[in-house]
Homo-oligomer: A and B are copies of this chain.
Amino acid sequence: MSGKTAKADIQSPILGTYMLDDQVGYLLRLAGQRHAAIFQAHTVQGLTPTQFSTLVRLAENGPCSQNQLGRLAAMDIATIKGVVDRLRQRGFVRTAPSADDRRRHIVSLTDEGARALDRMIPAGRVITEETLAPLKPPERRNLIKLLRKLG
């Protein structure tokens, strides 16, 4: 038998050397959980991360169709629909039929949405800062670089 336990013990034979705590997928989920909690603690008007991303993309890009907005914000068409619906219910965006293309619903930022985004940007900086707090500045830059490569 090895020492007092655990550390170097062989796990259940079924697992062999598979270490869940070292798998990217698992670690990405944990990091995402922590970020989500920090986001929620600092958010304005109850905006969620995806709602915030959507507003940012809308401000960057200007009005666009729902599908395109989904692509800009990296969301599935079913997901972006729900996000846009909720943003519209809250008065942060509005939708209007496109003159050019009768399939399209053009989504645009309302004044209220712009004001909410305006107040949310500083919070976003704080959220990023707090999420990266466990890392030193060079490590932070490195993590961002690696995650971008992974995207």
Contacts and interface: CB of A to CB of B under 8 A. Distances in A.
Interface of A: 11-12, 14-16, 18, 20-36, 39, 49-50, 53, 56-57, 59-60, 74, 114, 117-118, 121, 124-125, 127-128, 131-132, 134-135, 139, 142-144, 146-151
A114 B15 CA distance: 10
Nearest to A38: B25
A121 B14 contact: yes
B125 A18 contact: yes
Given A32-B32, A60-B12, A74-B33, A148 B27 contact: yes
A131 to B, nearest CB: 5
Contacts of A22: 144
Which 3 pairs from chain A and chain B are nearest by CB? A27-B147, A30-B151, A143-B146
Contacts of A14: 59, 114, 117-118, 121
A149 B139 contact: yes
A101 to B, nearest CB: 22
Contacts of A32: 25, 28-29, 32
Nearest to A49: B25
28 contacts: A11-B59, A12-B60, A14-B117, A18-B124, A22-B144, A24-B128, A24-B132, A24-B143, A24-B144, A24-B147, A25-B127, A26-B49, A27-B144, A27-B148, A27-B150, A28-B32, A29-B49, A29-B50, A29-B74, A30-B74, A30-B151, A31-B150, A32-B32, A34-B150, A34-B151, A135-B146, A135-B149, A142-B146
